[in-house]
Amino acid sequence: MSAHRGEAVAVVGMGLVVPGASSPQEFWRVLCQDEPQFGPPDERWDLETLFAPELTAEDRVYRREMGYVTGFRPHADIDRGAPADLDSEAGRWLRHCLLQATEGIGREEADRWLLAVGAAAESSQRLEESLVVDRVATLLCEDGRRVDEVRRSLQDHYPQARATPASYLAPRQVEAAASGVLPDDIQISVLQGACSGSLQALDAGLRALRSGECDIAVCGSTFVLNRLTNVLCSVMRAAPRTGGVRPFDKGADGTVFSEGAGLLTLKRYDRAVADGDRIHGVLLGTGASTDGPGTSIVTPNPKGQQLAVRRALRQAGIVPANVQWIIAHGTGTRAGDAAELRMLGELVDGARWQVSSNKALIGHTGWTAGVASVIHGLLAMEHELIPAQRQFDEVTDPALLRGGALAIPTEDVAWRRRTQSAPRIAAVCAYGLGGVNGCAVISDGPLAVETTPEARSAHAGEATASVPSADDVVVTAWYAHLPGAPHRAAVERWLSTGAQTWADAFPTPYPPPPFAACRLPPATFDTLDRSHLMILDSAHGLDRELGGAWRQLAAETGVFLGHMGPTAGSVAYALRASMDDFRRRTGDDPLPGTRQLTARRLAEEVRGQVPRGISDTYTGLLCCIMASRVAVQYDLHGPALSFEAGPDSALAALEAARLQLVTGGVEFALVFAVAGNAEHGDALLGLARGRRLREGAFALALTRRSTAQRLKLPVLRRLERTQGKRQPPTEPRPAAHTGFLGADSAVRILRATASDAGDAVIAPEQDRHLPALRLAAAHPTSVPKQPPRAVEAFYLRETVERSAERARWRVPLDRDRDGFLSEHRVDGRPTMPGTLMLELAAEAATALVPRFLPQSFAQVEFEAFVRLPDTGRPPLTLKADAEVLHCDDAGATVFVRLLSDVTLPDGKVIQADRIHMSAQVRLSSFIGQRPYADDLPEPSSDAPELPDVYCRPNRPHLLSGTFDSLRRLRAHHRGGTALWRCTIAPDHPAFSKFRTPAVLLDAMFRTGQLNGEHHLAHEPPMPVGLSELTLYTQANDLALAGLFGSGVTLHHRPAATGGATDRLQRAIAPDGTVLAEVRGLRLYTRASGGAR
């Protein structure tokens, strides 16, 4: 993805609202003068209940003047067709920007639109006020009686927030802003990337355009100051008590938060030229990163910031010397500005950059900061002028400017148009809480060539996700974190049947995660909303599912979270911070409701329940920080973003991860969905009270197939975007799978991943602006739905004799046809597994009686190994003898022996018909429904994983590749469990024709090493026989791989006495049914190198 003309993306429209400006043109006038646009709020706020000059005042701000949008001049058509529930700030500003940004552009009826908007879950004054009304109504009424009546009464005191909280959630306001302005079938993505959010939205638009998934993208953000943000930023001492914002200046004393909205309309450059659109500039590239671990969640990490800039330059196909100007984040905080200058100085690499920030004039517009700076840069290109840095006298430390390589302009700098081969280029930086970084590179035209040799050389060796060609996106692991920590088998049964055996919600207080899941000190837990801890618990579970191989991709791993609405903690603190304002509005008379409280008494009660804020409170409540918690814990450096789409939020996060993978933005993606706010779920869903709501955190790991194969990770499902018109979901769901707020779709996704059904389409339930995604079988090639005909048998290669009752075949084994057997070794020599002897027996039995299916094996004796011949020796020839013992309309029993002649090197036979295996194969005309397994013992949740004695390094008994499919061995007092996942390629010539799941059965035999908690095998035990093996499925290994992507659980109950008659092994599907059962497996343990 680079920015030559064929891939260039043009900016064809701009819309903006910031303090002091209601359009890009007005913004330019602000940028060219000296006066900061800070002031007191308008009638939206009552300063008497918001401001107090003392730094220690509770629930107040110590600064009167902030970057409020006042004097807003809306677009003339803003009210035409506008929905009634359009928020008077967040939604209205966004609609205004949308009208500006799309005015006059060329469009066609068939155009596919993407609207990508950065919007905080908490950033709406009206949402906050409506939640205050809802919470107060609940507190004023005992046992839930009269709540709706009291809420309607309280709404009279909040005339700007009369709608339900659900109406003010960010996805609804973005949809309302677009209503009547953009087509009804647009795709909408609402994301949270903190103060880099708008640049993350630009990144999504750029990727969608270049990948051909949309024709027009409108990208940006909206951000509104509310009481929660105002108060808790004051608690953090983020703002100077007086004065302005002084980026990079030695007198810098903090930042002033502001509000605003901004949007850019993007098209592919060639399309914009063809449409005759006005082209404001070109978006050459974007870059995103996360800081990873640092001294705190709010302390910037220059290495993480630099990674975002490097990625943007690399995607643009340029080097630092091609850039003339950095529009920096420059917040006016001494530590933050110094870190940014230090980072830029390390990156400048002999170039000379102008560095400036617009926050001195408009403040820190939060989520809108990035897009406002991009518009700043595009306007400067239009006017051929880089405006001087305002509120700047002298840099904190002159050494930060690297001897003039970085220049902070104290006067306007001319920026004349140049040639096409040397366009004017600027880089825009924005960094957010949690270490979420973004960078966008813009120019006044496309690059003349795709990537210069200098750029290729400069970026060589940098860690970056590769851009795939036709490489599937695949699911490699999943995990569900639910109340009570149910074991995997219980979760899989719940996903299949809805059988819930645990509580709906986690206890209060939330149980602290183990240190391995969260390295924060326990004292910090009190400041974190439970959702922050839940995502860490789910990440810990997913990490255990994956093993350690994925961590080598940490630099290119992204985190994508689906979440709905503000956290429970932020709702609670907003209520606390609003109590003085509530008292002003309602007076001191008793309030409506059954409890007859006054506002003063209610305020005392609320403040007694919700602790006063400290410096860590704000970051412990925000939704946008949750994904960063995972990045910090595991030192990840891809993007860390949250997505909101109501109950479909998990689907939105999954779609964002898919787009990043198919466009090379990340190499590995961790996708989460967290439902941790059941307390306020009714209000957020807009439903009648009393619906059963649940809590949980769900996780998926995604990558590309080639990466999964390289890391030897299982492929559970393929993830694809569906084509055509979006359809609502039609699959029935158990009631126990609902009520998870933004994680509702995650349950459907996990259910499809763990199911034995075919392809599953996950369509949005409520958000009609999301695409549906398909979770397809792990392998795209077809899998046999029934056993192949006898003539297609893999082993029966030469018929020697044949009658109705008896038959004999010759089976020459050689390395060309049977080379896969070399992966199964005993005593260091390639050896046919016993289960492949059973497969050969099944082929022989069904060839003799072809109208039946193999159902079970009885009286099985393994008497001698079948060895592959050494290189250069003639092939070993097995003989398969089959004889019908019984046959009727219901089934048959066939006795099968596998034989060979023992010969000398000269070919002389010294023992004819040596027996390797004998068994009775029972055939049936019908295989019935799989039975459910009885309750089976499970290892404790902290039971360690045990090494597979067959797979230790440098052991003569070694498995790899095809047969190394056993995972997660754990022992308990009655045996143990393990996990089987198919690792066979779908086009394998042998296994595609098998009648039995031979590799699964091999893994079942190997669970014999689990002889109880204190009786672990130290040497590989060999199977020498079994009483009975029953198949409850006719699927072979490949078919099972397509049906059970989440893996099959193996249970082993060892013999209670010295014998083996009561030894039992079972393979349990994710739905709790039995796939295969082995009784009376006899094992022989011997030292390595022994012979038999």
pLDDT tens sequence across 95-146? 999 999 999 999 999 999 999 999 999 989 999 999 999 999 999 998 777 8
Q: How far apart are CA 818 and CA 830, in angstroms?
A: 10
Look at residue 791 in the predicted model and tell me its pLDDT.
44
Q: All domains of the chain, ordered by start, with CATH?
A: 9-119+169-459 (3.40.47.10), 122-168+568-618 (no CATH), 473-567+622-776 (3.40.47.10), 790-924 (3.10.129.10), 958-1085 (3.10.129.120)
* Mean pLDDT computed over 593-598: 92
Complete DSSP assignment for 405-457: TEE--SS-EE-----TTS--EEEEEEEETTTEEEEEEEESS-BSSSS-HHHHH
Q: Which residues pair with 967 in a beta bridge?
A: 979
Give yes or no for residue 1031 having a pLDDT over 80. yes
Whether 690 shows a pLDDT value over 90: the answer reads no
| Stated length of the chain | 1092
**How high is the pLDDT of residue 90?**
96
Phi, psi for 40 (deg, rounded to 5) = -70, 160
Output the six-digit token pair for 82. 């506008």
Q: Which residue has the tokens 């034995």?
A: 756
Report the pLDDT averaged over residues 617-629: 95
Cα–Cα distance measured from residue 1056 to residue 975, given in angstroms and rounded to the nearest whole number: 10
Q: Is the pLDDT assigned to residue 935 strictly greater than 80?
A: no
Is the N-terminal amide bond of 830 cis, ω within 30° of 0? no
What span, in angstroms and rounded, lies between the C-alpha atoms of 199 and 431?
10
Kindly report which listed range (215-224, 514-523, 615-624, 913-922) carries the lowest average pLDDT score.
514-523
- As a whole number, mean pLDDT of residues 333-340 equals 94
Of the residues 280, 364, 824, 916, only one is catalytic, namely 824
Give the C-alpha separation, 234 to 231, whole Å: 5
More reliable by pLDDT, 145 or 203? 203
Residue 515 has pLDDT above 60, yes or no: yes
Residues 6+ apart with CB under 8 A from 426: 323, 324, 325, 326, 327, 377, 380, 381, 441, 442, 443
> How far is the C-alpha of 1005 from the C-alpha of 1022, rounded, in Å?
9
**Residues 437-457 pLDDT 10s:** 999 999 999 997 644 555 555
Q: Is the pLDDT of residue 778 over 60?
A: yes
Of 619-623, 749-753, 903-907, 1088-1092, where does mean pLDDT reach its minimum?
1088-1092
Instruction: Inform me whether the pLDDT recorded for 739 exceeds 90.
Output: yes
Distance CA 406, CA 101 (A): 33
Neighbouring C-alpha atoms within 13 Å toward the C-beta of 658:
22
Distance CA 248, CA 408 (A): 8
Alpha helices, DSSP H only, in 676-734?
681-685, 705-710
Q: How far apart are CA 438 and CA 283, in angstroms?
A: 14
Report pLDDT for 12: 99
pLDDT of residue 652: 98
Q: Assess whether pLDDT exceeds 80 at residue 697.
A: yes
Residue 726 has pLDDT above 90, yes or no: no
Average pLDDT over every residue of 158-172:
93
Transcribe 21-60 into DSSP letters: BSSHHHHHHHHTSS----B---TT--HHHHB-SSTT-TT-
pLDDT at position 591 is: 95
Tell me whether residue 551 is exposed, middle or buried, using C-beta atoms within 10 angstroms of its C-beta: 0 to 12, 13 to 18, 19 or more. Answer: middle
pLDDT at 958 over 60: no
pLDDT computed for residue 781 by the predictor = 46
Determine whether 471 is exposed, middle or buried from the number of CB atoms within 10 Å of its CB (0-12, 13-18, 19+).
middle
- Range with the lowest mean pLDDT among 260-269, 401-410, 848-857, 1050-1059? 1050-1059
At 531, is the secondary structure helix, strand, or coil? helix
pLDDT at 928: 72
Confidence of residue 1092 (pLDDT cuts 50, 70, 90): very low
- Confirm if 512 and 522 have CB atoms less than 8 A apart: yes
Instruction: Kindly tell me the sign of the dihedral angle through the C-alpha atoms of 85, 727, 772, 97.
Output: negative
Is the model's pLDDT at 297 over the cut of 90? no
Q: How confident is the model at residue 788 (pLDDT cuts 50, 70, 90)?
A: very low
Point out the catalytic residue in the list 249, 616, 682, 1002.
Answer: 1002
Question: Of 965, 992, 626, which is closest to residue 779 (Cα–Cα)?
Answer: 992
**Closest by alpha carbon to 1061, among 1019, 1012, 1025, 1011?**
1025
**Residue 1002 annotated in active site:** yes
Reported as a single tens digit per residue, the pLDDT across 885-899 is 999 888 999 999 999
997 close to 1040: Cβ distance less than 8 angstroms: yes
* pLDDT tens readout for residues 373-395: 999 999 999 999 999 999 999 99
Q: Per-residue pLDDT averaged across 495-522, rounded?
A: 91
**What pTM value is reported for the model?**
0.80
Q: What mean pLDDT value characterizes the chain?
A: 89
pLDDT over threshold 60, residue 70:
yes
* Percent of the chain's residues with pLDDT above 90: 67
769: annotated active-site residue: no
pLDDT (tens digit, 9 = 90+) per residue, 474-496? 999 999 999 999 988 889 889 98
Contact in structure between 357 and 327 (CB atoms under 8 Å): yes
The stretch 950-968 carries a mean pLDDT of: 65
What per-residue confidence (pLDDT) applies to 784? 41
Geometric angle at alpha carbon 622, from 620 and 627, rounded to 5°: 90
Largest CA distance in the chain: 110
Q: CA nearest 878: which of 895, 847, 900, 862?
A: 900
Q: Treating both helix axes as pointing N-terminal to C-terminal, what angle do 568-577 and 227-235 enclose, rounded to 10 degrees?
A: 90
Q: Is the pLDDT of residue 540 over 90?
A: yes
Token pair 């077809």 is found at 782
Amino acid letter at 465? Answer: A
Coil, helix or strand at residue 933: coil
pLDDT value, residue 245: 97
> Higher pLDDT residue, 787 or 242?
242
For position 1013, what pLDDT does the model report?
47
777 falls in which pLDDT band (50, 70, 90)? confident
Of 292 and 331, which is predicted with more confidence?
331
